[in-house]
Amino acid sequence: MGVLKQLSTAEAIWAQQDIDGNKTKDFWTYDVSCLHRMYRADGASKCAFIPLQMAQADARPAGMEEGDNPFGETPAIAPLENPGNPTAYFGYFIRAMLVDEEENEYNQNPVGANNILATNTDRYAFVHIRLYTVQPDTGHLSSMSQAPSTQMTAAVTKIKLYSNGPAKIQWR
């Protein structure tokens, strides 16, 4: 639970300090890595609310699909050292959840010049996943510390939602 507790603390600080500069007390819901990589609205410093190693465990960090910065010039995000190759944090990869149990999207409020939906005024959710490879000779599972390969099985071990009801496993 330490991973999820760190994320919860980071979200509380995010909401208090208005890192994205949208003048709204909201939570970051787009990804995990920006809780370390995002620069404050004035561009002077990174927020770094979670350790770099946790940010590198984000299985789908911002910028991987859209280019360097999906939000536009502001807010700025620092690049990852190994984009597309996440490294496990205490054995887990982490992702931001997309929808809650009622199919309501977590990303509701626009951020940056490109108006990407990336925050929520009410809630947020993350999942951390332990990935395994199947040993061909024995059929046993071995925990992975590097990015997923073609022979993997994902075991969702812990889900923390800040809403009521069972979680649907849908993440960014």
Domain assignment present for 87 = yes
Measure the CA–CA gap between 88 and 32, rounded to whole angstroms: 13
Q: Does 153 have pLDDT greater than 60?
A: no
Q: What is the residue range of 44's domain?
A: 2-128
Asked if residues 153 and 134 have their Cβ atoms less than 8 Å apart, the reply is yes
23 pLDDT band, cuts 50/70/90, is: confident
Domain assignment present for 157 = no
Task: Supply the mean pLDDT for the chain.
Answer: 79
Q: Which DSSP category does 163 fall into?
A: S
Strand partners, 28: 119
82 pLDDT band, cuts 50/70/90, is: confident
- How many domains is the chain partitioned into structurally? 1
Q: What is the pTM of this model?
A: 0.77
Domain assignment present for 39 = yes
